[in-house]
Amino acid sequence: MGTSIYDCFMHILLNLESEKNKPLTGNKLAKFIERDLKETIGNVIQNEHLSVQASAGIGNWANVPWVSIIDHRITTTTQSGVYPAYLFKADSSGIYLSLMHGTTAPQKKFGKLKAESLERSISDVESRI
């Protein structure tokens, strides 16, 4: 596409609120998030250990569309491990850059209570950094 990450972010923020009122299936902005933004960030990072994942939602719009950078030395999915992600605010007023940790895989492996305990441990470490 040849645009910058900033241009992609601005395009999304300017259109997200109105597009979220339309169906997700076949939506041009959803495709832009999942294809063009993903590609633009991938072109910037260009690292054999990193890949980009993005989602506007599954079936319906996500309340918070996102794009993440996955380091395959740590994890291969957003369902486990630690990774940075850009999160588009639900009200379309901005973007957060956040350090995320997947919870789906730990819940399946250890059960909900143990996974929540592990999550609190990770959060405690993150708060000390």
Is 125 within a domain? no
86 and 67 Cβ atoms separated by less than 8 Å: yes
| Residue 71, in any domain of the structure | yes
Both tokens of residue 15? Answer: 């259109």
Which residues fall within 8 angstroms of residue 93, CB to CB, at 6 or more apart? Answer: 13
Picking from 63, 69, 57, 59, the residue whose alpha carbon sits closest to that of residue 33 is 57
Domain membership of residue 92 (yes or no) is yes
AA identity, residue 28: K
Number of domain units in the chain: 1
* Interval 20-79: pLDDT, tens: 999 999 999 999 999 999 999 999 999 999 999 999 999 999 999 999 999 999 888 787
Residues of the domain holding 74 = 5-102
**Is 54 a member of any domain?**
yes
Domain assignment of residue 128, yes or no:
no
Rounded CA-CA distance 56/72 in Å is 22
Neighbouring C-beta atoms of residue 38, cutoff 10 Å? 19
Kindly tell me if the per-residue pLDDT of 7 is higher than 70. yes
Average pLDDT, integer, range 10-14? 97
